[in-house]
Amino acid sequence: MTKNIDWQNLGFNYIKTDYRYIAYWKDGKWSEGELTKDNVLHISEGSTALHYGQQSFEGLKAYRCKDGSINLFRPDQNALRMQASARRLLMPEVPVEMFIDACKQVVKANEQWLAPYGTGATLYLRPFLIGVGDNIGVHPAPEYIFSIFCCPVGAYFKGGMSPTNFIVSEYDRAAPHGTGAAKVGGNYAASLYPGLIAKTRHFGDCIYLDPATHTKIEEVGSANFFGITKDNKFITPLSPSILPSITKYSLLYLAKERLGMEIIEGDVYIDQLEQFKEAGACGTAAVITPIGGIQYGDNFHVFYSETEVGEVTQKLYNELVGIQFGDIDAPSGWIVKVK
């Protein structure tokens, strides 16, 4: 039985679902993970996750298909990225198989919370890895917790995509050789204040420039940036301090293989925006958010339109979302069936 939820009006909010997965790392190995109804963690006050930001998280979604089956979109990529984050922060890696199995267990146990096909709503999975155990000095934790919970979330766009405006921040979310490429809470703590400034000025979020020279676009808050040039090339920034978005790499592939476009990962200078006819922000939560305009200092640059979605952006969106919900053939290995 599916829960009686107003799927059309779901936002992106915490909703306590029935089960979450939890596994413990101690003495060099992971425990057998298990499902629990308890959504409260009981951890040492000395946990490194609380003091020194030794933690990482992921985000992916489960999708209900037309035939009632359930898709996960590229969960192996989330597993591999969490392993990369773990290496950067000296945490134990969660094996890919364990990660995917845990995702499946959580979705199956909470199937009632997954929206029917056609509503656009999905089940958002939040895996996280945290350093715990008694500790006070600055060094890696003696113990770790790997857990995954889930929340039903709404379609990002009610009644179709609508462009959003962004503002270039004077702040940085990451340092040139810092942790920008790792999906870790510290980057987000650094982004809260610049994000608040952007929202106070009625922008969707801020755009960060490269922390070394402040001349090139890095990314958009919690999503990667892409632009479509006037001669139809798909361009997205390349930098060691950008979080490597799985959605972005999927769009790079689809732009080339399905739309026949030339794709480029390279520098995107903030003073050369006129080369683009369309631009967007992409990520699991944002899916594709078309960018209406970008405020940079006193200058406001509008791309395709502040109200309408460009043709290429719409095609990319249809292809991506079609694959995720099982309506369009997926490239090999992209879809993992939960049932």
Ligand X SMILES: *Cc1c(COP(=O)(O)O)cnc(C)c1O
What is the set of active-site residues? 183
* Residue 165 in contact with ligand X, rule: CB under 6 A: no
Among 9-17, 92-100, 240-248, 298-306, which window interacts with ligand X (CB under 6 A)?
240-248
Q: Looking at 48, 122, 236, 245, which residue binds ligand X (CB under 6 A)?
A: 245
* Residue 111 in contact with ligand X, rule: CB under 6 A: no
* Residue 223 in contact with ligand X, rule: CB under 6 A: yes
For β-strands 164-168 and 205-209, DSSP reports them as parallel
Among 84-92, 244-252, 267-275, 320-328, which window interacts with ligand X (CB under 6 A)?
244-252
* Residue 284 in contact with ligand X, rule: CB under 6 A: yes
For ligand X (CB under 6 A), the number of binding residues is 13
The answer to whether residues 59 and 125 touch, using CB atoms and an 8 Å cutoff, is yes
Provide CB contacts within 8 A for 253, sequence distance 6+.
331
Label each residue of the chain as H, E or C. Answer: CCCCCCHHHCCCCCCCCCCEEEEEEECCEECCCEEECCCCCCCCCCCHHHHCCCEEECCEEEEECCCCCEEEECHHHHHHHHHHHHHHCCCCCCCHHHHHHHHHHHHHHCHHHCCCCCCCCEEEEEEEEEEECCCCCCCCCCEEEEEEEEEEECCCCCCCCCCEEEEECCCCCCCCCCCCCCCCHHHHHHHHHHHHHHHHCCCCEEEEECCCCCCEEEEECCEEEEEEECCCEEEEECCCCCCCCHHHHHHHHHHHHCCCCEEEEECCECCCHHHEEEEEEEECCCEEEEEEEEEECCEEEECCCCCCCCHHHHHHHHHHHHHHCCCCCCCCCCEEECC
Residue that has been written with the tokens 């960060």 in this structure:
208
Q: Looking at 143, 210, 219, 319, which residue binds ligand X (CB under 6 A)?
A: 219
* Residue 59 in contact with ligand X, rule: CB under 6 A: yes
Provide CB contacts within 8 A for 142, sequence distance 6+.
26, 133, 134, 135
Among 162-170, 228-236, 242-250, 294-302, which window interacts with ligand X (CB under 6 A)?
242-250
The distance of closest approach from Cβ of residue 335 to ligand X in the complex, given in angstroms and rounded to an integer, is: 16
The distance of closest approach from Cβ of residue 137 to ligand X in the complex, given in angstroms and rounded to an integer, is: 28
* Residue 55 in contact with ligand X, rule: CB under 6 A: no
* Residue 236 in contact with ligand X, rule: CB under 6 A: no
The distance of closest approach from Cβ of residue 34 to ligand X in the complex, given in angstroms and rounded to an integer, is: 27
19 C-beta neighbours (distance < 10 Å), count: 21
The distance of closest approach from Cβ of residue 283 to ligand X in the complex, given in angstroms and rounded to an integer, is: 3
Q: Looking at 86, 141, 198, 246, which residue binds ligand X (CB under 6 A)?
A: 246
Chain positions 2 to 41 lying near ligand X, rule: CB under 6 A, are none
* Residue 147 in contact with ligand X, rule: CB under 6 A: no
* Residue 183 in contact with ligand X, rule: CB under 6 A: yes
Q: Looking at 224, 236, 241, 324, which residue binds ligand X (CB under 6 A)?
A: 224
Among 14-22, 25-33, 95-103, 216-224, which window interacts with ligand X (CB under 6 A)?
216-224
Nearer to ligand X, 105 or 187 (CB): 187
Nearer to ligand X, 46 or 59 (CB): 59
Nearer to ligand X, 126 or 277 (CB): 126
Among 5-13, 47-55, 154-162, 222-230, which window interacts with ligand X (CB under 6 A)?
222-230
The answer to whether residues 219 and 208 touch, using CB atoms and an 8 Å cutoff, is yes
* Residue 222 in contact with ligand X, rule: CB under 6 A: yes
The distance of closest approach from Cβ of residue 111 to ligand X in the complex, given in angstroms and rounded to an integer, is: 23
Q: Which residues bind ligand X (CB under 6 A)?
A: 59, 183, 219, 222-224, 243, 245-248, 283-284
